[in-house]
């Protein structure tokens, strides 16, 4: 079902989140609330915003979206990756080297790091455009075009599986998690990162341009922590650790250019100490 986005609605939504956090006692005093109310009045009175045109948002497949992003993916600053990469790499650096699978490897940023650590690396992604870039980063790696729910590798053939920022594109978690469990050796490790469900409501649903110039949303399932835990249990995996890196206090970025133009304080409050990602370190138990 298509969704609908409107500039004024986005700004008012950020103001609302900021006010909800003030009401909950997270932040903000009487002056903060007074400023929010005054700002809402200014926003709703502005004729340019009031008369701006909303947009019906369609849907794009991951193949369509990543085909557009491939050439610039490594060159545009992505605050989600900025928050994700240090924590994932801290985990990976503690694990013994062996045979590693980078599932949904994209342009191969984690595959290249795994190779630097001394792993024999295999990468899998559904996007031929992203795989072409991954191969240039890790020329000694092996790469396959395939989906997460049907990995073209042997069972129990990896000491480590990494899957970064991709599970939200799946309609359900079970098929991919069962595949990760299948290909990991008993005693092996699985490291997963995904956008946090709270971030999806703060503008985190990825958008691309459709063939007619229309705005299209990439698949973004709303998985709760309990959904992951249930899928891990059903796949026979054990949880070692869970991390939820917060959005950094980065002035001038939260909410995008529109928010920074009209309501930067409200945007900062909406993102303050909110989880950007959820990162899981799992273990395939010895039988």
Single pTM value for the model: 0.94
Tell me what pLDDT residue 75 has: 82
**Fold category of 60-265+275-283 in CATH:** Rossmann fold (3.40.50)
Query: How many residues does this entry show for the chain?
Result: 287
Is the Cα torsion angle 223, 227, 228, 232 positive or negative in sign? negative
Sequence-distant (≥ 6) Cβ neighbours of residue 27 within 8 angstroms: 21, 269, 272
Helical (H) or strand (E) element with 18 = helix 7-23
How many Å apart are CA 26 and CA 38, to the nearest integer? 20
For the chain, give every domain's residue range: 60-265+275-283
Between CA 267 and CA 256 the distance in angstroms is 9
Q: What is the pLDDT of residue 78?
A: 87
Task: Say if residue 280 is exposed, middle or buried (CB neighbours under 10 Å; 0-12, 13-18, 19+).
Answer: buried
CA gyration radius, the chain: 21
- Which segments of the chain have a pLDDT < 50? none
Give the pLDDT confidence of 81-113 residue by residue, as tens digits.
999 999 999 999 999 999 999 999 999 999 999
Specify the pLDDT at position 63: 87
pLDDT score of 17: 97
Q: What is the pLDDT of residue 158?
A: 98
């Amino acid at each position: 079902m298509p969704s609908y986005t409107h500039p004024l609605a986005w700004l008012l939504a950020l103001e609302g989140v900021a006010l909800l956090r003030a009401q909950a006692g997270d932040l903000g005093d009487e002056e903060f609330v007074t400023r929010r109310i005054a700002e809402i009045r200014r926003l709703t009175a502005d004729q340019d915003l009031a008369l701006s045109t909303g947009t019906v948002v369609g849907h794009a497949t991951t193949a369509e979206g990543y085909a557009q992003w491939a050439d610039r993916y490594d060159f545009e600053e992505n605050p989600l990756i900025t928050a994700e990469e240090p924590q994932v790499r801290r985990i990976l650096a503690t694990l013994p080297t062996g045979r590693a699978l980078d599932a949904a490897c994209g342009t191969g940023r984690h595959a290249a790091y795994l190779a630097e650590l001394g792993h024999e690396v295999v990468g899998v992604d559904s996007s031929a455009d992203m795989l072409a870039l991954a191969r240039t980063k890790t020329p000694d790696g092996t790469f396959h075009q395939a989906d997460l729910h049907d990995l073209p590798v042997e069972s129990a053939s990896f000491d480590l599986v990494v899957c970064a920022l991709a599970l939200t594109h799946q309609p359900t978690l079970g098929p991919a998690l069962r595949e990760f469990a299948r290909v990991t050796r008993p005693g092996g490790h699985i490291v997963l990162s995904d956008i946090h469900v709270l971030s999806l409501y703060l503008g985190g649903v990825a958008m691309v341009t459709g063939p007619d110039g229309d705005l299209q949303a990439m698949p973004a399932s709303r998985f709760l922590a309990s959904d992951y835990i249930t899928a891990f249990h059903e796949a026979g995996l054990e949880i070692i650790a869970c991390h939820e890196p917060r959005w950094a206090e980065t002035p001038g970025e939260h909410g995008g250019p529109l928010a920074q133009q009209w309501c930067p304080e409200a945007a900062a409050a909406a993102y303050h100490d909110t989880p950007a990602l959820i990162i899981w370190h799992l273990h395939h138990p010895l039988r």
